[in-house]
């Protein structure tokens, strides 16, 4: 079977391609390198020893998409491509709505024109807004507090309406919690452009000496130590969840939604402590004001994915911290050589 992976040069996309190739599937990739680079694709080949087709371009480009579907025998699509920085989405809502919504509509229209109806969508726990209780289940109320989250909610609604319109569509929506870590080779990982918005890449820049300290956004939340609690999940476990979703789609009809999390929550300070302990490195921090829009705690009930997909996160927080640091150090040594 061959899968089209949009945004395949990105953090989660690249790790998913590794697992798909390792599982013996064929892959075609489209990416515009707006938040990724070509080196990642070469590293996927180094890790797996396998090749795949690649098309540089924008998922909004229906002509390019049609070329791909005509040239490649695509059985299903995993759609990662999209902008994902919460803060940037508040500053540039039109850019986010255009890119994230139009790219998805273009992709779905071309799929329909080419009789491909199996679709896995990269959604996010951000669609739960501020949960009324924990752990979070898939049937919890949905809300968005920023344009990025709105685009995920809107696309989920588009997919639900699409499935209602025709039972030809087989759709899986995967709601990620907080992906961190890197492939054990240290060749691929999370490397955001500019100053990282997310906590783990920021911690990594402090741990490798690029920044002097972590800014902890608030320590007055109603949590174990006052800092924000999140469900961190190893990106390789997340990638394996996508392989499980594609295998589920082989004979499933309908639309299903799954939380991809570990079910365990860790605070910011607990994460910092784990990075420091596992890697024997100092991670200085300072407590600052809360970040507007942040919630106190968020962690998943992953039992539905465990039951239906036969998938469960296997790596623990120490694996995540060790693998993230190995990648960060390799990145640092590359910068020094340049």
Q: Which is nearer to ligand WQD, 26 or 294 (CB)?
A: 294
Give the span between the Cα atoms of 54 and 51, in whole angstroms.
Answer: 9
Closest CA to 230 of 202, 208, 199: 199
Q: Which is nearer to ligand WQD, 219 or 316 (CB)?
A: 219
Q: Which residue is nearest to ligand WQD (CB)?
A: 228
Residues labelled catalytic: 148
Q: Which is nearer to ligand WQD, 117 or 299 (CB)?
A: 299
- The nearest distance, CB 313 to ligand WQD, in angstroms, is 16
- The nearest distance, CB 67 to ligand WQD, in angstroms, is 29
- The nearest distance, CB 231 to ligand WQD, in angstroms, is 9
Distance in angstroms between the alpha carbons of the first and the last residue of the chain: 40
Q: Which is nearer to ligand WQD, 199 or 320 (CB)?
A: 199
Q: Which is nearer to ligand WQD, 200 or 249 (CB)?
A: 200
- R_g of the chain computed on alpha carbons: 19
- The nearest distance, CB 276 to ligand WQD, in angstroms, is 15
Q: How many other CB atoms are found less than 10 A from the CB of residue 289?
A: 9
Instruction: List 78's β-bridge partners, or say none.
Output: 5, 120
- The nearest distance, CB 55 to ligand WQD, in angstroms, is 24
285 burial class (0-12, 13-18, 19+ CB within 10 angstroms)?
A: middle
- The nearest distance, CB 34 to ligand WQD, in angstroms, is 15
Give the span between the Cα atoms of 5 and 13, in whole angstroms.
Answer: 7
The residues that touch ligand WQD, with contacts defined as CB under 6 A, are: 84, 86, 124, 126, 176, 178, 197-199, 202, 215-217, 228, 230, 268, 291, 294
Q: Which is nearer to ligand WQD, 199 or 204 (CB)?
A: 199
HSE, side-chain direction, 13 A CA sphere, residue 212: 1
């Amino acid at each position: 079977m061959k899968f089209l992976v949009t945004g395949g040069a990105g953090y989660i996309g690249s790790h998913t391609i590794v697992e798909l190739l390792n599982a013996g599937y064929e892959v075609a990739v489209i990416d515009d390198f707006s938040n990724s680079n070509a080196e990642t694709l070469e590293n996927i080949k180094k890790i797996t020893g396998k090749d795949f087709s690649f098309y540089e371009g924008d998922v909004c480009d229906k002509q390019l998409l049609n070329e791909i579907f005509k040239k490649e025998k695509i059985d299903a699509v995993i759609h990662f491509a999209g902008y994902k920085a919460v803060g940037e989405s508040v500053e540039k809502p039109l850019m986010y709505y255009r890119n994230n919504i139009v790219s998805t509509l273009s992709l779905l229209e071309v799929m329909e024109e080419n009789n491909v109806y199996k679709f896995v969508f990269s959604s996010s726990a951000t669609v739960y807004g501020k949960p009324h209780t924990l752990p979070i289940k898939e049937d919890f109320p949905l809300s968005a507090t920023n344009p990025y989250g709105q685009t995920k909610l809107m696309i989920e609604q588009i997919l639900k309406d699409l499935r209602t319109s025709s039972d030809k569509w087989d759709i899986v929506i995967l709601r990620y919690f907080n992906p961190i870590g890197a492939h054990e080779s240290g060749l691929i990982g999370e490397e955001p452009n500019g100053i990282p918005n997310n906590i783990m890449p920021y911690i990594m820049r402090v741990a490798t000496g690029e920044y002097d300290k972590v800014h902890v956004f608030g320590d007055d939340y109603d949590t174990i130590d006052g800092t924000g609690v999140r469900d961190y999940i190893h990106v390789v476990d997340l990638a394996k969840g996508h392989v499980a979703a594609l295998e589920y789609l082989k004979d499933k009809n309908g639309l299903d939604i799954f939380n991809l999390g570990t079910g365990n929550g860790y605070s910011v300070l607990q994460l910092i402590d784990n990075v420091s302990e596992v890697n024997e490195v100092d991670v200085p921090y300072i407590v600052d004001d809360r970040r507007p829009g942040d919630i106190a705690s968020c962690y998943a009930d992953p039992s539905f994915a465990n039951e239906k997909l036969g998938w469960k996160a296997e790596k623990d927080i120490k694996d995540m911290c060790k693998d993230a640091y190995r990648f960060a150090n390799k990145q640092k040594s590359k910068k020094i050589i340049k």
